[in-house]
Amino acid sequence: MKFFIYSFLFTIIFLFTSCNNEQTIGNSEVFLSGKAQTSNLRIFADSIGNPNEFASLDTLQLFRPYLFDVNNNKVVINNSGTEEAKFLVASTENPSNNYTLGSYGKGPGEYLNPIGAEISNDGSIYVIDSQLRRLDKWSQSGELIESKLFDSYAPHRMTFIENLNELYIFTPSEDRLFHRYDSNYNHLTSFQNASDSLGFVLKNVYLSGDIDSDHNHIYYAGYGNHFLKKYSSNGKLLFSRVMIEEITPPSLVSEVVDGNGEMLKISDDFKAAARTIDLYQNKIFVLYLGNDFDLIGRTIDVYDSDTGDYMYSLKISNKYRRALNFDIDSQGVIYSLEYDANMNYKLFTYNLRVQ
């Protein structure tokens, strides 16, 4: 009797789900052309030294700071406090050479929501503001050189390919995600990572994330998803992987619209995965921001930049602190912006030993 009841219930459930308009399409490989990492366990490697305190940022009157870039013996940190949209440029060699640039406002050199900053190899500092849709260029001594308005989209992150002297802007709210510019800010190309027929779902997939570059490639790590991607400088997708996680990657679903065709959409069960991405010696370093509370802000996952394969993980910070983000300089020193339970921010350095 019990067997009959269970069989009947199973048949009802099967018929109901079969008639449902929405069904899961295998896995995200259909849309992403990538495969999930096979390992669910991190391999922790002792590859960094003990932390050294570089700066206590609360003493610098920076409210909710954000570390953007370390290059050319400089560290760029944004002060995100209300009406305090300025940047601290800290010297890695001599604190007396520290200075600030920018202020709150809408004019050139003023910011409402500065969301990206990069230091080029010649010492110039580039700042983008997503609300003002503007890119400013500062000299290495802190003088405003040029301002560039973006009329069609709101920039989110940027990166340089120095040997090509090109700038790439990431705009997750647009169908065309990456925008390529030459050194004079002339727009060269724009590209996305799905066919035009799927363009309308991109803003749902790439809600946010971080990008970085090496000599010829662009790398993307998703904050609102688990995707790790690599592109050529002209926009060709070279690999699409799912970062190591303990949660299922987002699924792709199909929904029939008025019987006239099929509309694709992404399921809404996204979980955060990565906060910051950086490159060093042919490896991709990603700050973990997943569902394991003990590892959030205390783990950097390392991937092979040629294949996207997971390699090992590094432990940073400690049980009293978490890292908000980090950057690696040309000498292999990790600059990690960390905070405690009282939201006191300090910048620590770690000497990285790449395996």
pLDDT digits (tens, 9 = 90+) for 67-122: 889 998 899 988 765 566 788 888 888 888 888 888 888 888 999 888 889 998 88
Note the pLDDT tens digit of each residue in 121-174. 888 999 988 888 888 999 988 899 999 887 667 788 889 888 888 888 888 765
Each residue's pLDDT tens digit, 196-240: 444 444 444 555 788 999 989 999 888 766 788 899 988 888 888
In 133-145, which positions are buried (b, 16+ CB within 10 angstroms) versus exposed (e)? bbbbbbeeeeebe
Q: Is residue 37 part of a domain?
A: no
C-alpha 9/C-alpha 218 separation (Å) is 51
Q: Has residue 305 been placed in a domain?
A: yes
| Element of type H or E holding 101 | strand 99-101
Total domains in the chain come to: 1
192 is a domain residue? yes
Task: Work out the angle at residue 148's Cα, subtended by the Cα atoms of residues 147 and 150, and round it to the nearest 5 degrees.
Answer: 145
Q: Name the residue range of residue 330's domain.
A: 46-351
Contacts of 225 (CB under 8 A, 6+ apart): 205, 206, 207, 209, 249, 250, 270, 273
Q: Which pair of tokens denotes residue 256?
A: 């029939």
Does 4 reside within a domain? no
Residue 3 lies in a domain: no
Q: What is the pLDDT of residue 174?
A: 59
Identify the three-state secondary structure at position 97.
Answer: helix
Query: 0.85 cut: is pTM over it?
Result: no
**24-38, 256-270, 291-305, range with greatest mean pLDDT:** 291-305
Statement: residue 314 has pLDDT above 80 = yes
Assigned domain for 108 exists: yes
Torsion, Cα of 265, 266, 268, 273 (10° steps)? -160
- Residue 39 inside a domain? The answer is no
Phi, psi of 345 (to 5 degrees): -105, 135
* 26 is a domain residue: no
Residue 271 belongs to domain with CATH number: 2.120.10.30
